[in-house]
Amino acid sequence: MSDSVEAVIQGRRTINFFERDIPPRDIILQAIDLARWAPNHHLTEPWHFYLLTPATKDRICDLNAEIVTVEKGAAAGKAKRERWSRIPGWLVVTCDRSDDQRRWQEDYAACCCAIHSFSLFLWSRGIGVKWTTGEVTRDPRFYDAIWADPALERVVGLVWYGYPAEIPVSVRKPVADIVIEV
Ligand SMILES: Cc1cc2nc3c(=O)[nH]c(=O)nc-3n(C[C@H](O)[C@H](O)[C@H](O)COP(=O)(O)O)c2cc1C
């Protein structure tokens, strides 16, 4: 467990390979409880957190395998199905849609903050996350699987979680390359 803010922010990595154990539901609910404290303009609280049951996870694995099979063939679809079925924790975060472009953009930004807070808290408890926005998350059948109305909500991320089997290394540009004095 890591408790310094710097260590959690800098040490967090996107996890591609997880152990099989599913983290306790209580910790995930605690992470969602904290995530809702993310900044959100006008306190719209535009987020929804869908905790997927094994049946829904299976449906999404099947749907993704179908998409991959059409694009890359049956062997690739089967391999993807097997890989996805081993992912332990499944959460989908959606954002309320709005016809007001400014509000929609701000609400989407707020949901991104919430997902990051969710991830940082879990990381501090030894649980890793992968935030994905793959093609499957834009498919109308994905919305059907989670019982969300695509006219009212947009998927911000399919968020996998679990205990990391491997922690990758990542890099960032030096601060001097991104700071602009004006
Ligand atoms: C909005 C968003 C969408 C992402 N979608 C994907 C994705 O579909 N597939 C993927 O492999 N990683 C995805 N990622 C993870 C990034 O690839 C990852 O954050 C980046 O490689 C930096 O690694 P780090 O998170 O370990 O610092 C996404 C990240 C964000 C913020």
pLDDT in tens, 64-121: 999 999 999 999 999 999 999 999 999 999 999 999 999 999 999 999 999 999 999 9
Please state which of the four CATH numbers 3.40.30.10, 3.40.109.10, 3.30.460.10, 3.10.100.10 is assigned to the domain occupying 20-166: 3.40.109.10
Q: Whose C-alpha lies nearest to ligand 1, atom 16?
A: 14
- Per-residue confidence band for 2, with pLDDT thresholds at 50, 70 and 90: low
Query: So what's the pLDDT on residue 1?
Result: 52
pLDDT in tens, 124-169: 999 999 999 999 999 999 999 999 999 999 999 999 999 999 999 9
Q: Which atom of ligand 1 is nearest to the CA of 133?
A: 8
Q: How is 112-163 classified by DSSP, letter by letter?
A: HHHHHHHHHHHHHTT-EEEEE--GGGGSHHHHHHHT--TTTEEEEEEEEEE-
pLDDT in tens, 21-70: 999 999 999 999 999 999 999 999 999 999 999 999 999 999 999 999 99
Task: Report, in angstroms and rounded to the nearest whole number, the Rg of the chain calculated over CA atoms.
Answer: 17
Q: Which atom of ligand 1 is nearest to the CA of 168?
A: 26
> Is the pLDDT score of 15 beyond 90?
yes
E runs forming strands in the chain: 47-51, 89-96, 128-132, 153-162
Query: So what's the pLDDT on residue 154?
Result: 98
Ligand 1 neighbours by CB, cut-off 6 Å: 13-14, 131-134, 170
Domain boundaries, the chain: 20-166
